[in-house]
Amino acid sequence: TLRHPKPAHPGAGAAGSEQPCWPFFGGSPQRTLARPSIQLGLPRHPSWVRGMHDLMEYPPSYCDGRLYVDLERGLTVALDARTGRILWRHRAPGFTASTPAIGDGLVVVSSHGGTVSALRSSDGALLWQLKTGVPVESSPVIVGNSVYVGASDGRLFSLDEHTGKVQWTYDVAGRISSSPSVLRGRVYITTYSGGIFCLHAGNGTRIWSRFFGRNAFEGDSFYSSASTDGVRVFAASKSGLVVALSAADGHTIWSSDMGGSVYGTPSVAHGLVNVADLSGDVRAYRAGTGAEVWSAHVPGRVLGPTLVVGDLLFFSTLEGESYAARTSSGRIVW
């Protein structure tokens, strides 16, 4: 059990700071998928197991001893993190393929039924709901008193955390399946039309945008979210293109071709960017230069993102195997 002082707000904190909560997909508004200061031993046996009887496409969020998870067929479930006991359930008007965002006494959930809903964290009661009219697959993120979330018709929303009132929208003119990242007053979002946008978090004005193509005739697609180390923005496309852009002005710092389809968001820690693909290839790049530090191959398809905990990189395959590799060398530990 890890004991830390609770932050004033689970979304607060500078890039790379350690927090006791995992309140959003990726662990922080920067979507780094990393807790580099926590050390884990070898797996022993489960503390508890709770069958949810449904697909969980995205991992749960966690804070104050509670796990919140979305099930595909439209249920958001809160569980006691120590025992696995179900505390409450709430049904959305459509599929839910995202990670709930934990805010100030509430949990924000998106759904393919075209809603973004705030549920009271204590009992799951509905506090407010935005109806978008289109599926919302994006995992919300909360920074300050604002909720940022993208819709499938290309609208990126900023909502008031406590009322759900729309503060601004921006149309990126392409499907959004990814989750927005937030850093120092800027929001970063990737799109299915090959775009990466940087917007002003306060008013939604565009600061810069970049587009990437598979070839001269076909645009690329980003399912994975952007992650950032505070200086650079990292993203991986479905065609396997990994890019590092300047967070300030969007110019390309480096790029690399994985050679296989990538759906998982890159994890960022220890000065490395880690990416896995559907061919079973896993690579670590130097964050500043793009130099390949190591590569590994496993017999399976890695659909989800990698995760850094301490000096280990975790990833799992669709074939049901989970791996832990050294972040420094890629050597498989278990």
User: pLDDT by residue (tens digit) across 87-141?
Assistant: 999 999 999 999 999 999 999 999 999 999 999 999 999 999 999 999 999 999 9
Q: Alpha-carbon distance 254 to 240, whole Å?
A: 14
Mean pLDDT, range 165-192, rounded to an integer:
97
pLDDT (tens digit, 9 = 90+) per residue, 242-291?
Answer: 999 999 999 999 999 999 999 999 999 999 999 999 999 999 999 999 99
% of the chain residues with pLDDT over 70: 94
233 has a pLDDT exceeding 90: yes
Lowest mean per-residue pLDDT among 11-20, 86-95, 301-310: 11-20
Lowest mean per-residue pLDDT among 27-41, 290-304, 317-331: 27-41
Lowest mean per-residue pLDDT among 37-51, 267-281, 290-304: 37-51
End-to-end alpha-carbon separation of the chain, Å? Answer: 22
Q: Alpha-carbon distance 189 to 222, whole Å?
A: 10
pLDDT at 5: 35
Q: Alpha-carbon distance 234 to 244, whole Å?
A: 5
pLDDT at 216: 64
Tell me if residue 212 falls in helix, strand or coil. Answer: coil
The mean pLDDT value of the chain amounts to: 92
Q: Alpha-carbon distance 72 to 159, whole Å?
A: 24
pTM (global) more than 0.95 = no
pLDDT at 220: 87
Q: Alpha-carbon distance 241 to 261, whole Å?
A: 9
Locate the DSSP E strands across 135-223.
141-143, 146-150, 155-160, 166-171, 181-183, 186-190, 195-200, 206-211
Pair 327, 314: CB distance under 8 Å = no
pLDDT at 3: 32
